Structure 1
């Protein structure tokens, strides 16, 4: 709300950003009850976890969801759009730091459902602008980092970022990823991992079997292999996840 003391709030955010004051990225139990239970030691692991994964909403989706006093997404405001990325950088880095106290390896995901709208008038950003917003958040992370988009998007944009893991709804959109074989190949060559969300989380789960999902996954791999991507590379750098 620009009628409030926006200038002082932005000043406080930028001061925390430049001083890397992660306490300003604290996430309360009201917003992350499960994380709070982890931090308080209320979750007992039978064995030390190999890794812990956290997530925050990405800057594109967050700034399209949050609106100003005129119900206009703040993504359309250059000042606030840039501030959002710095705000989320602190949030992601704080969460990563807390998870690192409990596991030797952390995985932080940026969720970008609204990237499915990229290319429409709803997301008036260039490729470089999107990459810049994402990289602002990633730059605050020290562990493994990934991005998830639950719809279709310009996958080349996400593959060109510094992510270690690309997560997609492979059940519904694997054929779209196959439109970017060169980008996928380069991503794998630099050590990237693809999280194939081949297990549906909607009503379709009731119609599928292990065999049918394995077949569907092989079909997804075949599309990329047919365009020159190494099957061995895909298999070595693949994970199976819910969609």
Structure 2
């Protein structure tokens, strides 16, 4: 049923799925989204083959790189370290690092509506700082590997 709804909606724009927590990612990917929004957790490494195939077929992933559960004491460094660790493990399992960077977006793990504007701004600032680290890492890789 989900795949039929998604196929119908794709005539109007990009169709994606968002899950704030762990899910049956292979089944969700089978439904045919063009975009997947998922938390950046270690559990993702176990389905890296499915995610790799999804990206090879043009799919994009919005990584919930900054947690929004519980009190928010956002540290871009800690969030970057976690995301980078996940991406490194995915690359070790065969995911192309260039594809991973170019087909990824960064987002909070969940919505920001329940936070004050000041806290939401902190979360967005952390996302911006993480994106700068992704860009810097990509630039360094190009210099080292000539990519």
List runs of 5+ in structure 2 lacking aligned partners: 110-147
**Equivalent residue for 1:217, pick from 78, 83, 103:** 83
1:157 lines up with 2:23 in the alignment: no
Q: Name the residue aligned to 1:242.
A: 108
Q: TM-score, normalised by structure 1?
A: 0.42
Alignment of 1:43-82 (within 5 A): none
Q: Deviation digits for residues 65-113 of structure 1, max 9, x if unmatched?
A: xxxxxxxxxxxxxxxxxxxxxxxxxxxxxxxxxxxxxxxxxxxxxxxxx
Tell me how far apart the structure 2 counterparts of residues 148 and 154 of structure 1 sit (CA, whole Å): 12
SS of the equivalent of 2:15 reads: strand
Contact 1:199 1:205 in 2 (8 A): no
Moved over 6 A (4+): none
Structure 1 position 167 matched with structure 2 position 37: yes
1:21-59 C-alpha deviation (Å, 9 max, x unpaired): xxxxxxxxxxxxxxxxxxxxxxxxxxxxxxxxxxxxxxx
Query: For 2:71 and 2:2, how far apart are their aligned partners in 1?
Result: 32
Counterpart of 1:138 in structure 2 is 6
> How many equivalent pairs are there?
107
How far the C-alpha of 1:204 sits from its partner, in A, is 4.6
Aligned partners of 1:195 and 1:239 also within 8 Å: yes
Q: Relative contact order (alpha carbons < 8 A, sep ≥ 6): 1 or 2 greater? A: 2
With normalisation by structure 2, the TM-score equals 0.67
Unaligned runs of 5+ in 1: 1-132
1:175/1:223 contact within 8 Å kept: no
Structure 1 residue 228 and structure 2 residue 69: aligned? no
> What CA distance in whole angstroms lies between the structure 2 residues aligned with 1:146 and 1:195?
10
Query: Which residue is 2:46 aligned to?
Result: 179
RMSD: 1.4
Superposition map of 1:25-104 within 5 A? none
